Structure 1
Amino acid sequence: MKKIVSAGIAVLAVLSLSGCSSSKEKSSEEKKEIAIATPAELSTADVSLAMDNQSAEVAEQVNEGLYDFTATGQLKPALADGMPKVSNNGMTYTINLKHDGKWSNGKPVTADDFVYGWQRTVDPKTKSEQAYFLDGVKNYKEVNEGKMDPKEFGIKALGKYKLEIQLDHAIPYFPSIMAMSASFPLNKEFVESQGKKYGTTAKTTLYNGAYVLKGWDGTNDKWTYEKNPHYRDLKNVHLDKIKVTVVKSQQTGVYQYESKDLDLFPISGTEVKNQENNKDLVVRKVPGTYYLSYNTQKTLFSNEKIRQAISMSINFKQLTDKVLQDKSVPATGFVPTGFKNPSTKTDFAKDAGSLNKYDPAKAKELWTKGLSELGMQSAEFSILCSNDDKTKRVVEFLQSQMESHLSNLKISVKTVPFNSRLSAMRSGDFDTVLGGWTPTYADPTDFLNLLKSDNSNNSGKWKDSHYDQLIETANIKYADDPAKRWETMQEANKYVSEKSPLTPLYYLSNVYLINPHLKGVVMGPMGFPYYKNAYWK
């Protein structure tokens, strides 16, 4: 996203690829169907619950909100009929809707659908991990804590096709929020008819986007996106069907791509190097961070020195250069490169400098002191991670680094399916866990907010009143002072590195093999492809 009120982030691109002899040829005059691979299972089709990247990717293919992003990363109207009218010192948004939005059952998308969708997301009964994105909308805290009826939330319909949104305070990045899945509409009649089953299968979900989800029973690793016949912009949807398969093995995926069974496959590790001369290779830097999170409710990780020691025991450059080999770069701090200061145009991460340190000698010293403070002579813990090839390589490297640099330490590894990892993170059933974050809106607080004490995505349950105050100061006190706001966010970013509730490992890079005949695919802000305008040439 870039040029959106606050800090910019240039992250979108339209694929325009040259041909290659190994590419799949068109099977007819105009191909209407493609096959793609994805690395993880789908956990939910409910937009209120679509927190992980896989669920968010599916949500974006089959749903549509008020706004979307252009190929150059600028905000554009989707179901909104123009940009919002902003008044009351940035605290009131008035938005007119287009009249041609339709649900996949043919019923119109109205202002009431947005009101219900937002109310449902922030309702504590929904248990949405996305709810906090709407923090700052009037009465959010009271509603989300169950102290006020969701009907009192600061969004209302001013007619069938007109919305008014009231904020508690000005939010520089709020327009970006209205382009993400947490702000998508929901049809109350359909959702309530399905009850707890809503979003658990393709059949128990309703859609208003370019495609509808088919063939997903809630657990299987194959599904399709099929053209939505009721979609308002149907003339610009060129593909009839997109077949999706979960493929976790790099070797299997590359074989299927080379055998012309896949048109798009994400690759990583040594496979990137193997394919570096392939004209089908597409490399895209992503403003995202992969990190090791500590469960601070566990005795060992309640100790700051222990967390710092682990961070300093890891050779980040060796991880990216020797293990990943996929164009990822060592993380210098929690907030990745890509966020620009709206005034000076400098990059947030580059402004911060190198906050991540590899220092084995210091790590040993801190480890010994940390164990002494805890009355321990040795320690053991497990690392939880997903069971795909790339993650397995990363965790094996981390295990080796830590055990070789920190004395009397024993580490076990728990590799589980993607959905199982998500469940364990939500329940706090882990010692340490490998995870990552890619941006959902154009501001460094998209990362920094994750570590607030009350954030639903603060899986390590780190609580620090000083940090909370820094974030509140940046978000509220300095909302209208970009320079001081930037300075406060930098202070918070530095504080995270000092306290080490997590260890940033590397900044992400997405690499794909993509059939050069496949055009019009947009790489979006969260790092995954959008197929709405994709076509075969």
Structure 2
Amino acid sequence: MKKALLVGLAALSTLGLLGCNKSNDANSKKEISIASSAELSTADVSLAMDNESAEVAEQVNEGLYDFDKTGQLKPALAAGMPKKSNNGSTYTINLKHNGKWSNGKPVTAADFVYGWQRTVNPKTKSQQAYYLDGVKNYKAVNSGKMSPKALGIKALGKYKLQINLDHPIPYFPSILAMSASFPLYRPYVEAQGKKYGTDSKHTLYNGPFVLTGWDGTNDTWAYEKNKNYRDQKHVYFNKIKVSVVKTQDTGVYQYQSKELSLIPISGPEVKNQKGNKDLYVRKVPGTFYLEYNTQKKLFSNENIRKALSLAINFNQLTNKVLQDKSTPATGFVPTGFKNNNSQKDFAKQAGQLNNFDPQQAKILWKKGLAELGMSSAQFTILSSNDDKNKKVDEYLQSQLENNLPDLKVSIKAVPFNNRLSAAKSGNFDAVLGGWTPTYSDPTDFLNLLMSDNSNNDGKWKDAQYDQLMKTANIDNAGNPDKRWETLQEANKYVSQKAPLTPLYFLSEVYLINPHLKGIVMGPMGFPYYKNAYWK
């Protein structure tokens, strides 16, 4: 990773006193309750695309690698770091022999081969599949032109893997730490069929915990210590109960009454808790944005999209509405990605690409309406029905209607899972969403807007943009400086064409009981509980 283009994301952090000894004595608490801000959509690692599903996947599964507290890769089920050959296009990885599934079966190289093949198989409809783009034959397999068995991963023995790439990929080692590359135990998955991952009883695990108490729709579940986990001596909690808390008042009350040991908070509640020693704030390299369905007549027009982007006061949104340590978005790619050679931050180097200019917005709005043969317009913003999104909804509605003449904006706030499914099916005009990275490269964001990306919910298609990303990802893969320049071009192009409006760069804020130690905050901002303990 040190020789790759990027240094990586902001360092992970470990909560609690690092000097303390982890406790397994009789006085140490073995069970805690915590809050989540969103319901769980799936326990299937091939389908875990949203943050809540990804967070759960990380607690109950384990891949080849993980991130340490500094943000660097460390072996998990891998016995060591990958050996590269063929100019960086071939990876050979030996596995530890003590990995086990929660049914007691060993975790083998064949489980990784099957997991990857299933994720890339078009029948799975995995929105994570594109993370494996660049693995040999990925495109042909994912498009159904070749069998999943043709994917460039194979077992060289029970505990040895070989991965072949079409071309060197600077950030590929980080992909080996994310859920898209996790193993799956074929006999169990195929026995469950369509039920696999739809609830906790029809899912198999190989991580420090197993998921219990989730029926596929309820707002509560638990992480219970996996008795078959290879490193269970370093798992200190027997059970962690999780409940979805959608209102700040309820969550804070339960925290103050000691019912919950950890809760995420946002909005004015962050300001209210200023000075509280239990407050934990972490900047996350993530972006929250308003994405437009370019298949709709109104949003097919570039001037309309640009007008909407110019009509929103981003400083006011973060400082007056959110008040949660988020910062105004300067562009699509957030701060946190650094060039290994120059040490320059990608977003800071790009400069202010996002601007508030209501007068120019009016000009472009009228021009766009005229091009479409319209005298007025209306559309609906789709969002999740939690406290934070409600505030953003109301602010955007006010800003857009006040700054753009003859516009009517409606709000459709729905449960989180409903918002996800509606966005994926294209059943929206504009949708509030966000993205946090899973690997340390700006392409984690920029790839989202490529024409064939499964997470391009707005279906924006632009041949010039696709070519820029192809040049960066393939043609300049071996030239870090040129690659960086091309990615900057792509980032600016997104701002010029406005398929989405970046609103703010994310922060993650929690109230955490001071007795809860050893939590590691991962690259996407959420906590890992493997080594957590009560002191």
Q: With the length of structure 1 as denominator, give the TM-score of the two structures.
A: 0.97
Deviation at 1:9, TM superposition (A): 1.6
Paired amino acid for 1:6 = L
Structure 1 residue aligned with 2:88, among 87, 90, 98? 90
What residue in structure 2 maps to residue 23 of structure 1?
none
Among candidates 273, 276, 286, match of residue 274 of structure 2: 276
1:6 and 2:5 are equivalent in the alignment: yes
Paired letter, 2:387? D
Which of residues 286, 304, 307 is equivalent to 1:306? 304
Does 2:361 match 1:367? no
Match of 1:55 among 53, 63, 76: 53
User: Which residue identity does 2:32 align to in structure 1?
Assistant: I
Instruction: Give distance in 2, aligned partners of 1:373 and 1:104.
Output: 60
Report the 3-state secondary structure (helix = DSSP H, G, I; strand = E; otherwise coil) of the residue aligned with 1:203.
Answer: helix
Q: Which residue of 2 aligns with 1:260?
A: 258
Aligned residues: 529
1:336 to 334, 337, 346: 334
Q: Is the aligned partner of 1:116 residue 2:114?
A: yes
The superposition leaves residues 155-180 of structure 1 with CA deviations (integer Å, 9 ceiling, x where unpaired) of 00000000000000000000000000
CA drift of 1:277 comes to 1.2
Equivalent residue in structure 2 for 1:162, among 160, 163, 168? 160
Query: Is the 1:381–1:431 Cα contact (8 Å) retained in structure 2?
Result: yes
Separation in 2 of the partners of 1:384 and 1:150?
A: 36
Deviations 1:444-497 (A, max 9, x none): 000000000000000000000000000010000111100000000000000000
Question: How many angstroms apart in 2 are the aligned matches of 1:504 and 1:440?
Answer: 19
Partner deviation per Cα, 1:238-295 (whole Å, 9 max, x = no partner)? 1110000000100100000001000000011100010001100000000000000000
Match of 2:534 in 1: 536
Q: Which amino acid aligns with 2:135?
A: V
- Tell me which residue corresponds to 2:15: 15
Residue pair 1:331, 1:356 contacting (<8 A) in 2 also: yes
Distance 1:27 1:308, change over 3 A: farther
Q: How does 1:114-513 map to 2 (within 5 A)?
A: 114-513=112-511
SS in structure 2 at match of 1:89: helix
Q: Distance in 1 between matches of 2:348 and 2:63?
A: 33
Q: Output the CA distance in 2 between the equivalents of 1:417 and 1:509.
A: 22
- 1:4–1:173: 8 Å Cα contact kept in structure 2? no
Q: Deviation at 1:342?
A: 1.1
Letter of the structure 1 residue corresponding to residue 351 of structure 2:
G
Residues 3 and 200 (structure 1), Cα distance of their counterparts in 2 relative to 1, 3 Å cut: same
1:4 CA drift (Å): 7.1
Q: Is 2:31 the partner of 1:33?
A: yes
Q: Secondary structure at the match of 2:122?
A: coil
- The residue matched to 1:9 in structure 2 has which SS? coil
Deviation at 1:28, TM superposition (A): 7.1
Partner of 2:21: none
Q: Distance in 2 between matches of 1:3 and 1:40?
A: 35
Cα contact 2:10–2:284 (8 A) shared by 1: no
SS at match of 1:505: strand
Distance 2:86 2:337 in 1: 28
How much has 1:10 moved relative to structure 2? 1.8
Asked if the contact 2:236/2:533 (under 8 Å) is kept, the reply is: yes
- State the alpha-carbon separation in 2 of the partners of residues 120 and 52 from structure 1: 19
Matched-pair contact (CA < 8 Å) for 2:11–2:69 = no
Aligned partners of 1:345 and 1:260: how far apart in 2?
A: 44
Q: Give the AA of the match of 1:12.
A: L
**8 A Cα contact 2:311 2:357, kept in partner:** yes
CA separation in 2, counterparts of 1:59 and 1:286? 19
Superposition RMSD in Å: 1.2
Task: Name the amino acid aligned to 1:527.
Answer: G
Give the residue type in structure 2 aligned to 1:507: F
Deviations 1:396-441 (A, max 9, x none): 0000000000000001100000000000011000000000000000
Q: C-alpha separation between the residues in 2 aligned to 1:281 and 1:447?
A: 29
What do residues 288-310 of structure 1 show as CA deviations (whole Å, max 9, x unaligned)?
00000000000000000000000
> In 2, Cα distance between the equivalents of 1:104 and 1:444?
36
Residue 100, structure 1, aligned to residue 101, structure 2: no
- The one-letter code sitting in structure 1 at the alignment partner of 2:421 is S
Q: CA-to-partner distance for each residue in 1:190-231, whole Å, 9 max, x for gaps?
A: 000000000001000000000000000000000000000000
1:310 counterpart SS class: helix
- Deviation of 1:11 after TM superposition, in Å, equals 3.7
Structure 2 partner of 1:72: 70
CA contact (8 A) 1:11 1:287 kept: no
Structure 2 portions without partners, runs of 5+ = 19-23
For 1:41, the aligned partner's letter is E
Contact 2:34–2:261 (CA under 8 A) maintained in structure 1: yes
Structure 1 runs of 4+ off > 6 angstroms? none
Could you tell me the TM-score, scaled by structure 2's length?
A: 0.98
Q: 1-side partners of 2:315 and 2:60: how far apart? A: 39
Asked if the contact 2:102/2:205 (under 8 Å) is kept, the reply is: yes
Q: Alpha-carbon deviation of 1:3?
A: 4.2
Q: CA deviation at 1:6?
A: 2.9
Matched residues in 2 for 1:63 and 1:223: separation? Answer: 16
